[in-house]
Structure 1
């Protein structure tokens, strides 16, 4: 295993070193991609809990399987209207947002 940097004690410190402090262009881009990945994982988990394939979910909301795959893998930006369609119409869940 590689030697670690003695000054890095937290994950946040690691992100600061690798991508810059919060608000920097690189850090912001990383955080956006991380959120897209997390949303994709949430959709994938809910789809599996509903015992549906990507193809079944896509058909239910009028999309292509490849679109569902890109979203679940964090490779596609998703509009709020699409998120609503996927979760509420496609999977029968309710969406609730919290702004901090």
Structure 2
């Protein structure tokens, strides 16, 4: 009985096959959602590190607990201003990098 050799596939190949090639609307949407999910998890981790409840963090930035919950589950609906307020209240630094083709834009 012959054994079948297992074929290896990279994550990038799987994304190309099942989500769409880089640059397509489907792939861009997926990558955006993934980044927003990671951002939400970072907010939650920073909040817990500071031993704050969602309600306490909300009071620090002037929003309801439900808004903090939404941010932590997915930051999709958040504005940059809100995200900046959250990290400032958490006494956490956040950096943004904008890349245009092969050059990064740095804000001073």
Which bracket does the TM-score occupy, shorter chain normalised? 0.7 to 0.9
TM-score scaled by length of structure 2: 0.80
What is the alpha-carbon distance in structure 1 between the residues aligned to residue 76 and residue 70 of structure 2? 5
Which structure 1 segments of 5+ residues have no match? none
Match of 2:67, SS state, is helix
Matches within 5 A, 1:47-62: 47-62=47-62
More strand by share: 2
> Superposition RMSD on alpha carbons, in Å?
1.6
What is the alpha-carbon distance in structure 1 between the residues aligned to residue 20 and residue 92 of structure 2? 37
Checking the alignment, whether the CA contact within 8 Å between 2:19 and 2:27 is kept in structure 1 is: yes
What is the alpha-carbon distance in structure 1 between the residues aligned to residue 76 and residue 68 of structure 2? 9
What is the alpha-carbon distance in structure 2 between the residues aligned to residue 48 and residue 71 of structure 1? 14
Which structure 2 segments of 5+ residues have no match? 1-5, 100-108
Match of 2:96, SS state, is coil
Q: Which residue is 2:92 aligned to?
A: 93
Higher radius of gyration, 1 or 2:
2
Q: 1:75 to 1:85 in 2, by over 3 A?
A: closer
Structure 1 stretches of at least 4 aligned residues deviating more than 4 Å after TM superposition: none
Checking the alignment, whether the CA contact within 8 Å between 2:39 and 2:75 is kept in structure 1 is: no
Q: Number of residues paired by the alignment? A: 94
Task: String of CA shifts for 1:35-83, please: whole Å, max 9, x gaps.
Answer: 1101001100000000001111011100011111111011642211111
Checking the alignment, whether the CA contact within 8 Å between 1:36 and 1:77 is kept in structure 2 is: no
Shift of 1:97: 1.8
Checking the alignment, whether the CA contact within 8 Å between 2:43 and 2:87 is kept in structure 1 is: yes
